[in-house]
Amino acid sequence: MDNVQMAKAYIKRASRRIETAKRALSEKAYAYCIRQSQEAVELLLKAALRLVGIEPPKWRDVGLVLIEFSDRFPNWFKREIPQLAAVSRWLRREREPAMYGDEELAPPS
């Protein structure tokens, strides 16, 4: 599978996660909404990297990779990279506490 086909597959998978995140939000399942949102952003940013010939790393937050290779992107996308990287970083940080609970907020056993 070439980079364009893989990018399209990532986008399709991300679209499913966005729909799931919307449903989770409407059901006030906020933790699940955050997880699905993080996965959607991760897949979309990895699709963007593939489209410019970069093999995405096997970790969740690829914001620094976007910044490192920003010269490969068109100007309209390059202008958005700082915000995209910030969103990716925030979602990655929020993903674990959303899924497993924040120890500081957990009720005493």
pLDDT in tens, 18-37: 999 999 999 988 888 999 99
Q: What is the pTM of this model?
A: 0.84
Q: What is the mean predicted confidence (pLDDT) over 49-76?
A: 93
Q: Kindly list the structural domains of the chain, giving each domain's residue range(s) and its CATH number in brackets, ordered by start.
A: 3-100 (1.20.120)
Q: What is the pLDDT of residue 107?
A: 40
Nearest to 34 by CA among 42, 24, 45: 24
Q: Do 98 and 21 contact (CB within 8 A), yes or no?
A: no
Q: What is the pLDDT of residue 58?
A: 87
Measured distance CA(101)–CA(97) in Å, rounded: 5
